[in-house]
Amino acid sequence: MDQIKELVLKGQSFLESGNFEYALGYFEQALLLNQNDPELWNFKAVSLRSLGRYEEALECFNKSLEIDPRDKHAS
């Protein structure tokens, strides 16, 4: 679980600095370790949306909502 946390922190750092491609890579690595975490799908979606990959982002947001229909972060 610590490995996922570390990947997410690195991904968030790249996301905040505007390096969306690197952020996406870290979130994808985290998802390889846990595909049932809606927050990871949201992070991936935000990265994709920031890259202009809107259809893929929408798929990730929808996946997040599938896992947790009450997920307030899926937007």
Mind listing the pLDDT tens digit for each residue in 9-58? 999 999 999 999 999 999 999 999 999 999 999 999 999 999 999 999 99
2-67: what CATH class? mainly alpha
In Å, how far are 13, 69, 70, 72 from 26, measured between CA atoms?
10, 24, 25, 22
At residue 41, the 3 state secondary structure works out as helix
Domains of the chain by residue range: 2-67
pTM of the model: 0.90
d(CA 6, CA 62): 25
